[in-house]
Structure formats: structure tokens, C-alpha cells
Amino acid sequence: MGYRGTGLLVGRPCNGSAAAPLCPEPPVPPLETARDFEHLDLSGTKLPHRIAMAPMTRSRSGAAGVPTALMAEYYAQRASAALIVSEGVQPSAVGQGYPDTPGLHSADQVAGWRAVTDAVHGAGGRIFAQLMHAGRIGHPSLLPEGEVNVAPSAVAAAGQVYTAEGPKDFVTPRELTADEIRATLADYVTAARNAVAAGFDGVELHGANGYLIHQFLAPGSNHRDDGWGGSVEGRVRFAAEVTEAVAAEIGAARTALRVSPGNAFNSIVEPEPEPEYTALVERIAPLGLAYLHIAEDVPARRALTVRLRERFGGPVMLNPATEGPTGLDALALVEEGTADLVSFGQLFLANPDLPARLRAGGPFNEARRATMYGGGAGGYTDYPAL
């Protein structure tokens, strides 16, 4: 996710004198193509173009996980996206993986999100909630007292997570029982129902980047042999059943799934991801989901992306693998038919009016990494529009 730009294009003296103030350089020729700015219908969610805002953790909701007025301003600023996918939202208290991330499991959280969605809709936008259970990623200090992190199997991830007490090593999670897995499925369904009550246009299930759904899919983190693992069908089961259950509750047209085949982030081990993801996509394809969101980890994964797109048969959003953050050249993926939408992360973070800037070919603000997570308005709502 992100951008490849180098910041605002400046450097030309306004009156030709070397001592004069610098003026913006003329933008490069626009990269608009025939399809990038075409309308798209996601089973009833009508999009004005093909440039989506990728989900990005920003950690500004406070310890109670309640969205704030500042968050409403942030998302409304970016309402010109074809579709906003929210930051990861925990479907239950035990699903939290990072400090100050929002939830969708309490009445206060639903009310807080209603203010966000009202602001986005008031600005003409559309927004899906990304439901993200972190599973083994996180730390007990981030959870309610007495709770521990859970996962398909008692296999710890390597590395550390930031907490209010500083960085802490990931702990060995508690293996979910079969009954607890079913209860977790129910948590997703309740959170999806809450998302609709909060005014979201739909939900995206986060099955990527090493979080709980991905942990079930990956043989390195799923060592079960009880029907929720032990085979391709077993490892696919949780992802498929979550998707089916949420689609049954709120409608397939308001349900989407994000996957990242082979992505090693958060200690995921998937030596041969194609069998699991092919089986998963073939199982959910008949549902008629709003879209499938594919996050590529390396350019060599493009062939698998194309095969999954063929098997899915519906709209595909792509967060492509690039040498740097996703930039202007990603628009060609829509024109050539590799994807129906392209999701931008850091570039949307720093440029609230990104579609207009892409249409014009720039210029682009540069993201400030020091303010990406936590804090206030700085590096959040203070990026200028054109």
C-alpha cells in the first residue's frame, strides 16, 4: 500500500529569478484511462470510479475502541474514493491486536461509527468496515483482564507488538476449541450486523496479513486435525464459513473478503498457497460477494492473482505488489483487466483528494511515517487538498 511520489512538485522560480519564491511545477500528463474513471456496480453499491482507499490501522480511537469526531473528519476528507475500506475493526474484545484500535462489539462503538459513516455519506462517499480479529497477533495486556490471545493452534508468532507499556514479545496463544471457533464465527456475524446498524455500506472480512482468518488458512499456524485443519479443505473451512455466515446475515452484496496468498507478514508460513486459495475462492464464488480484495506480497504472485480472479468471477479489488508504495502506474491494472479496482494506502493517507490528483497526474503530498499510528490531528487530518 502507499505511494511512489516524492512529495509536492516544486522548484520553478515564479518570475524566473533564482531569488524568487518557488512555484509548483506543471503536473505530469494525466494517466486517466478509459476504465479507471468508469462507474462500477458492486451488486448495488454504485461506485463513481475504480480508485479505492485501502484499510490502514491509524490507532486513534482510544482505549475503549470508540470512534471519535476526529476519525469522522479523517474519513469524510477521503470520501472521493470509489470505496473507503476502514481500518481494521475488532469484532470482539479478544480480537484486538493493537492499542487504540476501534471495535464493533459495543453500543458506544456502533454510535461512534454512525457519526463516521454519516460524515462519509454526507460528503458523497461509500464505506465498508473491515472486520479484523487479530488472533495470535497482539498481547494479553491489550485484552480484558483474564483474557489471552487465541489462535487455531498454540503456535506463537515471532516478533513484538507495541503496547501501552512498550514493545512486548508475542505470546503463545491458546488454541481455540471447536465450540470457541463457532462462538468466534458468531462474533463476526454480530459485528457485521452492528456494522450495518452503524451505517456502513458493507463489510470486508480481513483474511490477510497474518490475522486470525489467515492463521487458519496457513499450515504454519494451523496444526489442527479436527476438521478445522489437517487438509486443504480443513484449513479453508474457517474462512469460508465466516464469509458464508456474514453473507447470510447481511447479504452477499454487502460482504467482501480480503486475502494475501503467501504473504509471510506476522510469521505466516504458506509454502504453496495456491491449493488453499483456489479452494477457498471456488467455494465462495457462488455467493455473489461484493468483491474479493487481493493483497499481493511479491510481483511473482501476479499469476495466482489472475487465476483467482478467473475463478471468483466477480469484482476484484487489487492492492498490487510494487517495488515501492502503490503509485500512479497501478492504474494500468484496471485498464488491462487485471483488476476492477485498485486500492491505495499511504498515497490516500497523505492525499485526501487522491482521485483528483491521480486524474491530473499529481502533485502528491508525502506521507509522514512518524505520525501514522496514534496521536491527534497531526499526520491525520492536516494533509492539504489541492
> Mind telling me the catalytic residues?
211
* Cell 493517507 found at: 349
**Cα 101 from Cα 59, distance rounded (Å):** 5
- Interior angle at CA 8, CA 7 and CA 10, nearest 5: 125
**Cα 68 from Cα 377, distance rounded (Å):** 12
